[in-house]
Amino acid sequence: MMEKKFSGKIIVLLKSLDINPTSVLVVKNGSLVTEEDSVNDDDSIKILNVISGG
């Protein structure tokens, strides 16, 4: 778990953490959101790895 203060678009947050946005799902305050959505300092964010297989 990590705590970071950030306000802005999720895509900017992911890039600042060196995370490929196509390889994760982002959940904000319990709801799935897109990389174009924005977050505030008081939001709870979970970044989940996408796993696929065949």
- Decide yes or no: CATH 3.10.20.30 for domain 8-49: yes
| DSSP output for 1-53 | -------EEHHHHHHHTT--GGGEEEEETTEEE-TTSEE-TT--EEEEE----
pLDDT in tens, 1-54: 778 889 999 999 999 999 999 999 999 999 999 999 999 999 999 999 998 887
* pLDDT attached to residue 4: 82
For the chain, the structural domain boundaries read 8-49
